[in-house]
Amino acid sequence: MIIDCHTHLWRYPGELTEELARETFIMRKQEIDLNLTNEMHDAAVAKVDRAIVFGLRAPLTGFFTVNDTVADYVRTNPKKIIGFAAICPTEEDALTEVDRAVQELGLRGLKMSPIYGGWDPLHPRALQIYARAEELGLPIMFHQGTTFPRKAPLKYANPILLEEVALRFPNLRMIIAHIGHPWEAEAIVLIRKQPNVFADISGLFYRPWQFYNSLRLAVEYGVADKLLFGTDYPIATFDETVEGLHNVVQLSKEMRLPPLPDDLPDQILHRDTLNLLGLDDPAEA
Ligand SMILES: [Zn+2]
């Protein structure tokens, strides 16, 4: 079974500010379509068996996605699509929103981002959210790495900051998106020590040298089995991501670098992600 653990859904205009859209266009050096429809998302996940989808909630940098958008989409294909709620602890009603997202919307995990939202990973309201997530068995996908908006504080972005969270909430399943780029080494040493912390490989293949080093380091530390497949749609597509995994293995051969296992791309692609995250298969519900 192939699971894409990292895809986005949001409408623009509406759920992203114009300032954020401008910064996105500057970063991408072109205008891109930021309005993601259900049909576009269906097409993006056509080749995978299950997909986890979420928005991003971070008022500081202009992300105002609404969890109902994700929940409405999940209802169009409930045996395949798994929705996570985007939660920002800087908002007073964040804990209530976690409960609403689970009980009323049927969402099954959380997406959180200290750097986009401008909050310390040990923010008091964040700790309450982690406690609730641990109690309810909700995995949390963290964007714990760098990003482009000027106002997004790097001081909250390092994956090492999640060590304390993992120690205080040992049964909480966490995923470090993009192996915590550009702190992949920090993410890898963390997932080695903490049994319930994982990392996804989304959005990394277009920096092939860093991607090679990250995968090689994961192999050397013996944690390649904790790397999950994800695309970060709309930032990257399924085909590009799979090709990028194969290319980096090929690159290591051509350059006579310390090798990556030939079957590493397939291992990552067929990872038993739902089981690792403690999620029931929606097709069997
Ligand atoms: Zn993402």
> pLDDT, tens digit, for every residue of 17-40?
999 999 999 988 888 889 999 999
**pLDDT > 90? residue 14:** yes
Q: Which helix (H) or strand (E) holds 44?
A: helix 38-44
Q: What pLDDT, on the 0 to 100 scale, is given for residue 65?
A: 98
Q: How is 67-106 classified by DSSP, letter by letter?
A: HHHHHHHHHHSTTTEEE-EE--TTSTTHHHHHHHHHHTT-
User: Ligand 1 center to residue 65 CA distance, Å?
Assistant: 13
Q: What pLDDT, on the 0 to 100 scale, is given for residue 232?
A: 97
User: Ligand 1 center to residue 202 CA distance, Å?
Assistant: 8
pTM, entire model: 0.98
User: Ligand 1 center to residue 7 CA distance, Å?
Assistant: 6
Residues with Cβ within 8 Å of 195's Cβ and at least 6 positions away in sequence, in order, are 170
Q: Which helix (H) or strand (E) holds 8?
A: strand 3-8
**CA pair distance 106, 13, nearest whole angstrom:** 25
User: Ligand 1 center to residue 6 CA distance, Å?
Assistant: 6
User: Ligand 1 center to residue 141 CA distance, Å?
Assistant: 9
Domain boundaries in the chain? 3-284
The CATH homologous superfamily to which domain 3-284 belongs is Metal-dependent hydrolases (3.20.20.140)
> Hunting for tokens 């920002």 — which residue is that?
88
User: Ligand 1 center to residue 109 CA distance, Å?
Assistant: 15
User: Ligand 1 center to residue 251 CA distance, Å?
Assistant: 26
Are the C-beta atoms of residues 109 and 52 closer than 8 Å to each other?
A: yes
User: Ligand 1 center to residue 256 CA distance, Å?
Assistant: 32
Q: What pLDDT, on the 0 to 100 scale, is given for residue 144?
A: 98
Closest to 227 in 3D by CA, of 245, 203, 201: 201
